Amino acid sequence: MSESSLPNAVVGQSGGPTAVINQSLVGVVETLRDSGRIGRILGARHAVRGMIEDDFVELQSIDKAKLDRIAATPSSALGSSRDKPDRAYCEKIFEVLKRRNVGYFYYIGGNDSSDTCRIISELSAKAGFDLRCYHVPKTIDNDLQKNDHTPGFGSAARFVAQAFMGDNLDNKALPGIKINVVMGRHAGFLTAASLLARQRQGDGPHLIYVPETSFDIDQFLGQVDGAMKKYGRCLIAVSEGIHDKDGTPMAVKLAEQSKGEIERDSHGNVQLSGTGALGDFLSELIKTRLNAKRVRADTFGYLQRSFVGCVSPSDAVEAREVGRMAARLSLEGGEGSGSVAIQRVSSRPYQVEYKRIELSDVAAKTKVMDASHLVNGCDVAESFREYLEGIVGELPVVEQF
């Protein structure tokens, strides 16, 4: 078979970048190239947008050294997009894929991306066009169903852990009340990773609030007051997605109070990140209601997903491997389309394996923290530490007098 008659492949990166999403991209590319069964490997610029606009980067000719450097670079090297393709959008994508003689399609992203894969896969089946669609998991939120955890989460969790380790020491040196707002709209996994900063009696975070339980202002203030009495200081981890008992995010209530205008993305999600408003609101609340003096709030923002130089070693390996696995599974054929999931074999020692799952297993579904890991609506159980250890990797050693 001459090269020009080989089917082509398209790969894209969707949603929020992570520190290791390029590992997955390179995992797909190197496996496809080594197979000798793919013509051109086309990287879609800015995800689905590049697909409908026919904006691709040729990836098959990039040398291995450069690919390895790309893999080690955070954020999405191809660019990303927040577009949520509906059926009509997917039909346009499918037309481009057909015209480009694309037989293999890989989409690296979260649950919305797997849904895009699912729709395109259905369109191709209906059209009798031979297209294998593979979703490659990625999300710092760690909220994909059927995955023990997701690539990107480990490095973001490592950032959160290292940030809290340092901030615990900072808060100990200059005691006061400190709030750190962590990403996580519906799932509290990333916020809960702050638990790893607790290494000695009295270490913070002393309180952890996740979106899995509803947030009550009076209870919160009582808990902060209690921690201050116990520790003489209080370090607090808060998910950006905390909400009241009716499910209204605090950030939305806040936005309604302050300016009556709320920014939503194409997925209907309210803007939570890229603003310090929630942290400042909680900070003001504590100052006013508890008459507390030194109250500070930091919002980790985009640092937690793109900071250069804070990668979990297992996360980097696993992100590469899910990319390779998706490419291998698609080439082997058989089941057609699908997704790849990380499964845990054991925690101590940490060991995982990779498994094919159906697109419908992850598409547009969300996983949240198990209730067994949550304590009194204001803390995370020590049992969660075992889950995190292997994912995050060994942390730097800190010492105290």
Contacts to a second copy by CB under 8 A: 13, 16-17, 19, 43, 46, 57, 62, 66, 69-70, 72-82, 162-163, 165-167, 169-170, 172-174, 178, 273-277, 279-280, 283, 295-303, 305-310, 395-401
DSSP annotation of 339 reads E
Dig out the tokens for 166 from the structure: 């340092």
Dist CA 269 CA 186 (whole Å)? 11
Residues in the chain: 401
- Residue placing its CB nearer to a second copy in the complex, 158 or 328: 158
Q: CB 320 → a second copy: shortest distance, Å?
A: 15
Q: CB 348 → a second copy: shortest distance, Å?
A: 23
Q: CB 397 → a second copy: shortest distance, Å?
A: 6
Name the residue among 5, 68, 12, 80 with its Cα closest to residue 40: 5
Residue 210 one-letter amino acid: V
Q: CB 147 → a second copy: shortest distance, Å?
A: 23
Dig out the tokens for 63 from the structure: 């040398």
Dist CA 243 CA 397 (whole Å)? 35
Q: Are 194 and 183 in contact (CB under 8 A)?
A: no
Half-sphere exposure of 284 (CA within 13 A, CB side): 7
Dist CA 28 CA 327 (whole Å)? 5
- Residue placing its CB nearer to a second copy in the complex, 66 or 87: 66
- Residue placing its CB nearer to a second copy in the complex, 308 or 381: 308
Dist CA 135 CA 104 (whole Å)? 11
- Residue placing its CB nearer to a second copy in the complex, 274 or 335: 274
361 annotated active-site: no
Q: CB 356 → a second copy: shortest distance, Å?
A: 28
Q: CB 308 → a second copy: shortest distance, Å?
A: 4
DSSP annotation of 394 reads P
- Residue placing its CB nearer to a second copy in the complex, 132 or 178: 178
Dig out the tokens for 251 from the structure: 């950030």
Half-sphere exposure of 81 (CA within 13 A, CB side): 20
Residue 218: its H or E element: helix 217-231
Choosing from 112, 141, 148, 315, the catalytic residue is 141
- Residue placing its CB nearer to a second copy in the complex, 3 or 394: 394
Q: Are 141 and 187 in contact (CB under 8 A)?
A: yes
Q: CB 10 → a second copy: shortest distance, Å?
A: 15
Residue 346: its H or E element: strand 338-346
Dist CA 334 CA 117 (whole Å)? 17
- Residue placing its CB nearer to a second copy in the complex, 35 or 271: 271
Contacts of 61 (CB under 8 A, 6+ apart): none
Residues recognised as catalytic: 141
